[in-house]
A and B are shown apart, each in its own frame.
Chain A
Amino acid sequence: SQQGEEDPQALSIQEGENATMNCSYKTSINNLQWYRQNSGRGLVHLILIRSNEREKHSGRLRVTLDTSKKSSSLLITASRAADTASYFCAIKSGYGQNFVFGPGTRLSVLP
């Protein structure tokens, strides 16, 4: 399966702390994207990282990609209660058009 697998499945931290979520996959990828989903809502695109990139930043978000280990991580620094959501990695392999989503990490940021 080319499905991304996030870990941990659930993460609970205090406001102000950093949150790190990991995604592992099995096939070679074209790119990998991270999405956020608030409960019962749509998917919000966070960051796309291409297979030839190793790190990308966007505000308080930092994504790394290690293609040799077939893994990616999403770091949220100085977390806020509003960051509480599920976070999904989605991988795009080869020349397929669809993204394969992992089961997600449920992040709870406690005030």
Chain B
Amino acid sequence: EPEVTQTPSHQVTQMGQEVILRCVPISNHLYFYWYRQILGQKVEFLVSFYNNEISEKSEIFDDQFSVERPDGSNFTLKIRSTKLEDSAMYFCASSEVGWKGSTDTQYFGPGTRLTVL
């Protein structure tokens, strides 16, 4: 069964460093998402992406964050200058359809645990 994959599974970085989290969505999906989950807290939406542009973003997704689909398979989340409070699990998700359909199940990857020291 196709699945969303993410790399790395765990990333440790120093405060102020840039990190890039990578995701490979399910191949026929057109909509891509990033969520994060701070330890012990709820899952929070960051950004959605369709047709090579951001279609929706939350207030968490500030200028330090950016997303890119550099090729036909990868979808990346970049944090330019990490802060301690960026430590969290970051989940990528993809769906076949987006807001135009009500059956837009989002399939999540296993997550990348980001630790900022």
Contact = CB atoms under 8 A, between A and B. Distances in A.
Contacts of B56: 96-98
Interface string B7-47: 00000000000000000000000010101000001111100
A101 interface: yes
A31 B33 contact: no
Nearest to A103: B42
Interface stretch (A10-18, A42-50, A64-72): A42-50
Contact of A101 (B42, B104, B107, B110): B42
Contacts of B51: none
B106 interface: yes
Most chain B CB within a 10 A radius of its CB, from A35, A42, A50 = A42
A58 B58 CA distance: 32
A95 B99 contact: yes
Given A97-B31, A97-B55, A97-B56, A43 B43 contact: yes
Interface in A40-89: 40-45, 48, 50-51, 88
The contact size tier of chain A is 20 to 34
B43 A101 contact: yes
A96 B99 contact: yes
B34 to A, nearest CB: 10
B102 A88 contact: no
A31 B106 contact: no
Nearest to B98: A97
Interface of B: 31, 33, 35, 41-45, 48, 50, 55-56, 58, 89, 91, 93, 98-99, 102-111, 113
14 contacts: A3-B42, A42-B91, A42-B110, A43-B43, A43-B93, A43-B108, A44-B108, A45-B105, A88-B42, A88-B43, A97-B50, A97-B55, A97-B98, A97-B104
